[in-house]
């Protein structure tokens, strides 16, 4: 397996580590996006599964990241598009919270 993919998959298993490590994980995800067209179907499946885990644990990842960086500022500084959704964990948390609130009414 691609070593970057392996690192990303392992990182997803530990949402309670420091925000610095999560920032590195997001940077690895950027590199994986660049390599995705050359990945095997198995690697693409592993990446998709890891992405699903990231979304499922978004609150935990964002809690740690937000103590270390401001994702909104990073997106503005680096002109990060929504296609790189992993840089929008704050937005995903907001949407998740809003949806849960609406559904509980």
DSSP string for residues in 50-80: HHHHHHHTHHHHHHHHHTT--HHHHHHHHT-
The pTM of the full predicted model, rounded to 2 decimals, is 0.88
Q: Which two tokens stand for residue 4?
A: 């970057």
Contact 52, 19 (CB under 8 A): no
The residues, ordered by sequence, that sit 6+ positions from 36 with a Cβ below 8 Å of its Cβ are 44, 47
In the structure, what pLDDT confidence band is assigned to residue 6 with cuts at 50, 70 and 90? very high
Q: How many domains does the chain have?
A: 1
Residue-wise pLDDT for 29-78, tens only, equals 999 999 999 999 999 999 999 999 999 999 999 999 999 999 999 999 99
């Amino acid at each position: 397996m691609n070593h970057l993919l392996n690192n990303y998959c392992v990182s997803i298993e530990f949402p309670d580590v420091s925000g610095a490590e999560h920032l590195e994980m997001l940077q690895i995800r950027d590199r994986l996006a660049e390599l995705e067209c050359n990945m095997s179907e198995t690697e693409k499946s592993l990446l998709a599964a890891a992405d699903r885990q990231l979304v499922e644990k978004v609150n935990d990842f964002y809690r740690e990241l937000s103590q270390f960086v401001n994702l909104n500022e990073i997106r503005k500084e680096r002109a990060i598009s929504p296609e790189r959704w992993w840089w929008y964990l704050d937005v995903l948390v907001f949407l998740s919270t809003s949806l849960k609130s609406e559904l509980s009414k």
